[in-house]
Chain A
């Protein structure tokens, strides 16, 4: 892991109209780091993600990606810089086949040392290879989630963002997703994960942020979070 921050948020404030949701968030994601963003429902996790990927214009503060200001930039511009999101609800395209999903978004611009080819993606998710000719709406929820991750990886992202990637999945498929995230971590993929499963996040994350009413209530390493169980009940409702 490098010390250089790939993404920096400084005094980030965002919301919807007059209603403010985020109140001055400050955090960095370093190259190769896995950052876990936690918090109960309605604490600002999804708003943070939406702001980072250009879905919402911040009201104040700045977001720097590799030193370049991206706050207020268009979503497609941010994506082309190398930020890929696996959205909540997966949102696969019903009229594209699995293979078409992976070909359509393939991007070599980010100069990855080992770019994600179709073969490598199928190796990571063998199930997708079996379903290569199926349309997005012909897949099970777990397969759609794998496809959403593979689709994001096909852009060779410098920062991968997963928003509730295991939400609504059967335990056995959740385990499959966690296994894949561990593989990605081992390969040095910089990742921001939003999820509710604290016990699964701890071994994966290098650094953890807990949001409480739009502010960072606590941050620290997984070892520190594992040792302070009172934080779990206080901020995460676990």
Chain B
């Protein structure tokens, strides 16, 4: 009798049948592999090419898109990889933004100091909130993260020093050092692009490290992970704090981008919007967050030109994705041929 243990052909056929291969990745594997580099090159050249087509306005738009993608990627890290369905992520974005506001108000003008402080402050805030929230699970975790984010929101509303409900204007661009002109929109664009590239590279690296594997294991079965020797709570807390820190960095960048910060940046609807964009792109997919953000914001921008009721078509798109492509857009670019794939 043939030994099924050493009969690779049989099992491979079973796997292929159970997991049909997405077309893009199979037809153009080389292109899909190089796509991130291609996109990075196009984005790097965009400020130079945009004036040729009269698209200067869109340099700012893409910069905002990149910043939101950083925030969404951090949410994707804890939700997609770690299974932590946080509904208060915009709170950390807000903490980052208000840290920049606080430093500017105190007379500091260095962008790197402000963004670094935004990262640290939001990371610390996420660690404190996570230390309490991560003791709960499921719907209770969703509710407690939402509650903390709303507490941060109302704290920002009550901060009269920083404009309260009216917000705070950052009228002088932050200085980026002797070599970089912080007031030049293209320079700021390239800085944001560089930071985004670093963040995505770091998340990609971490996702394929033992820490990343552990987070994915925790998402599947916390009890089993504990039995295998992993300190589940500490790992989740580390992931949560790291994601919060990156969201804070995005908040700091967003403050500089908008030259204005108001409590609206951390309202719970912003958290929900981040969640929707991540789901649209693909939960737990490396490129899910930027794809979801790019599609959502681009459609929003385009639809606003034609109608005030732009929410409707976006809602329909979301329904379509949920029913027809529940794994998100990134799954289309993914190799799932039984050899791991590029998650």
Contact = CB atoms under 8 A, between A and B. Distances in A.
B229 A104 contact: no
Interface stretch (A34-42, A133-141, A193-201): A133-141
Given A75-B227, A105-B229, A173-B4, A138 B213 contact: no
Interface stretch (A19-27, A59-67, A85-93, A210-218): A85-93
A87 B11 contact: no
Contact of B3 (A74, A133, A138, A172): A172
A100 interface: yes
B229 A93 contact: no
Closest 10 CB pairs of A and B: A79-B229, A104-B213, A133-B339, A133-B340, A75-B226, A93-B220, A76-B226, A80-B229, A97-B340, A75-B227
Nearest to B229: A79
Q: For chain B, which range describes its interface: under 10, 10 to 19, 20 to 34, or 35 or more residues?
A: 20 to 34
Contact of A172 (B4, B14, B216): B4
A94 B4 contact: no
Interface of A: 53-55, 74-76, 79-80, 84-85, 87, 91, 93-97, 99-101, 103-107, 126-127, 130-135, 138-140, 142-143, 146, 151-152, 155, 170, 172-173, 176
Given A75-B226, A176-B5, A93 B216 contact: yes
Given A76-B231, A133-B340, A138-B18, A91 B4 contact: no
Contact of B6 (A85, A100, A127): A127
A6 to B, nearest CB: 17
Nearest to B81: A95
A127 B5 contact: yes
Contact of A140 (B4, B225, B226): B4
Contacts of A84: 228-229
Interface string B210-234: 1001101101110111111111100
Given A95-B216, A133-B338, A76 B11 contact: no
B342 to A, nearest CB: 11
A155 B5 contact: no
A85 B224 CA distance: 10
Given A95-B216, A96-B217, A151 B228 contact: yes
A107 B217 contact: no
A140 B227 contact: no
21 contacts: A54-B227, A76-B230, A76-B231, A79-B228, A87-B227, A93-B221, A97-B340, A100-B340, A101-B213, A104-B214, A130-B8, A132-B340, A133-B338, A138-B338, A140-B4, A142-B4, A143-B5, A143-B11, A155-B228, A172-B5, A176-B3
A100 B343 CA distance: 12
B224 A91 contact: yes
Interface in B41-78: none
A106 B226 CA distance: 14
Nearest to B230: A76
A144 to B, nearest CB: 12
Contacts of B19: 138
B218 to A, nearest CB: 9
Nearest to A130: B8
Contacts of A151: 228
Contact of B227 (A85, A100, A104, A142): A85
B269 interface: no
Contacts of A140: 4, 11, 14
A90 B342 CA distance: 26
Given A75-B227, A95-B219, 15 more contacts: A54-B227, A55-B223, A75-B226, A76-B229, A79-B229, A93-B216, A94-B220, A96-B216, A97-B340, A104-B217, A107-B229, A127-B8, A131-B11, A151-B228, A170-B4
Given A133-B340, A138-B338, A143-B11, A93 B5 contact: no
Nearest to A97: B340
B178 interface: no
Which of B11, B15, B223, B284 has the most chain A CB within a 10 Å cutoff? B11
B106 interface: no
B202 interface: no
Contacts of A96: 213, 216-217, 220
B305 interface: no
A172 B5 CA distance: 8
A161 B214 CA distance: 22
A195 B42 CA distance: 61
B39 interface: no
Contacts of B4: 140, 142, 170, 172-173
A54 B226 CA distance: 9
Contacts of A79: 226-230
Nearest to B284: A95
A76 B338 CA distance: 31
Nearest to B224: A91
Contacts of A133: 338-340
Given A95-B219, A131-B11, A142-B4, A87 B338 contact: no
Contacts of A93: 216-217, 220-221, 224
B224 A87 contact: yes
A172 B228 contact: no
Most interface-central of B19, B213, B214, B227 (chain A CB within 10 A): B227
